Amino acid sequence: MTPRSILCPVDFSAHSRRALECAVGLASLHDARLIVHTTIDPLLAQAAAITTGSDYLRDTRADLRAFVAVAPHGVSWAPHPRLIVTIGDAADQILDVAAFHAVDLIVMGTQGLGGVRRMVFGSTTEGVLRRSTVPVLAVPLEGEPLVTLDPKGPRMQQRPVLAAVDLRAGARVLAHAAADAAAAAGAPLLLVHVVHPLETTERWRRCRDSATHLHVATAQAAVEGLAAEFPLTVEPLVVTGHVADALVQTAESRNAGLIVLGIGSGEDGARRPGSTAYRMLCLATVPILALPPPAAFETEQTSVLRFKEVVA
């Protein structure tokens, strides 16, 4: 995928600065429009107005203007982002800003400040992942950056891109998105499927092992068939173990620079990260590109009724 418009929500933490650096680099590389957005907690805004009498919106915008200066000083390639400050629930505001401005990628940290401004996975980030109809790039604080901001321009790291394929509906869409990312970085693609061993008693261990071997062989053939569709260096790989742990361990052992993961739908139709994605987002020191179900791009829209841009 080639983003044309990128939204980067920030909460002024070191973690969101890391995400912002990634967003700035991607926007420059793809000549994409960049929007940097922060949300003010309503209670905090009310308290500031009552106790200090200061113009909290003006002050926050000034803070945001200073915060976005992450590129090396004096460079000509750095994009000029649009700055947006809103008041409300962070996840709601992020989704509404994304819909209102028709962005096609959200770049955000998986953690951030606590208290009134927080972007901790399980709250804001989970809320965005659960309802976003566009891909979300979750950037961890640890690990090597996906994009390096050099004075001569941003550089994508050329480490492998790992696509977590489950061989169900949507696997081909996910694999193609990962292949696009790998091609843009000039990096190889890892197509990885995880076989979770069957849970059974000792009595049935031989049958379990036979079933696991058959599952691995069938999956290997399917992944190799999928890999043949791409005109770049692709390694089809089937591993066994707990899905989240196996994917993270494979990413680390193969020195992957990006994991591409699909976010499925719950039984009630509401998308949610799920236990596998949740654990990966908590464990991984590699950025994770989370893709919503393909149908989300065509059948769902985020309401913009809650969105009010309080600082233009």
Residues 221 and 142 in one domain: no
Residues 25 and 141 in one domain: yes
Residues 64 and 114 in one domain: yes
Residues 91 and 211 in one domain: no
Residue, of 156 and 7, whose pLDDT is higher: 7
Looking at the structure of the chain, the number of domains it has is 2
Whether 204 is covered by a domain: the verdict is yes
Rg (alpha carbons) of the chain, rounded to whole number: 21
| Helix, strand, coil percentages for the chain (3-state, nearest 5) | 40, 20, 40
At residue 304, the pLDDT reads 40
Residues 41 and 142 in one domain: yes
Residues 80 and 9 in one domain: yes
pLDDT in tens, 256-270: 999 999 986 544 445
Contacts of 264 (CB under 8 A, 6+ apart): 271, 272, 274, 293
User: How far is residue 136's CA from residue 105's CA, in Å, rounded to a whole number?
Assistant: 6
Rounded average pLDDT over 263-290:
74
Residues 163 and 131 in one domain: no
pLDDT score of 24 more than 70: yes
pLDDT score of 12 more than 60: yes
Whether 278 is covered by a domain: the verdict is no
pLDDT score of 295 more than 70: no
In order of 9, 47, 51, 68, the CA distances from 55 in angstroms are: 22, 12, 11, 20
pLDDT band of residue 272 (cuts 50, 70, 90) is: low
- Count the neighbouring beta carbons within 10 Å of the beta carbon of residue 73: 7
At residue 303, the pLDDT reads 40
pLDDT in tens, 132-164: 999 999 999 888 999 999 999 999 989 999 999
What CATH number is attached to the domain comprising 28? Answer: 3.40.50.620
Encoding tokens for residue 26? 């991607």
Residues 62 and 142 in one domain: yes
Whether 171 is covered by a domain: the verdict is yes
Rounded average pLDDT over 230-247:
94
Whether 282 is covered by a domain: the verdict is no
Residue, of 298 and 278, whose pLDDT is higher: 278
Q: In what order do the strands lie in the sheet with 161-164?
A: 234-240, 189-195, 161-164, 258-262, 288-291, 136-139, 105-109, 5-9, 33-40, 82-87, 309-311
Q: Are 162 and 190 in contact (CB under 8 A)?
A: yes
Residues 11 and 107 in one domain: yes
Average pLDDT, the chain: 84
pLDDT score of 118 more than 50: no
Whether 140 is covered by a domain: the verdict is yes
Domain with 109 in it: 5-146+299-311
- Its pTM stands at 0.86
Residues 20 and 116 in one domain: yes
Residues 18 and 87 in one domain: yes
At residue 207, the pLDDT reads 72
DSSP structure string for 87-128: ES-HHHHHHHHHHHTT-SEEEEES----TTS---TTSHHHHH
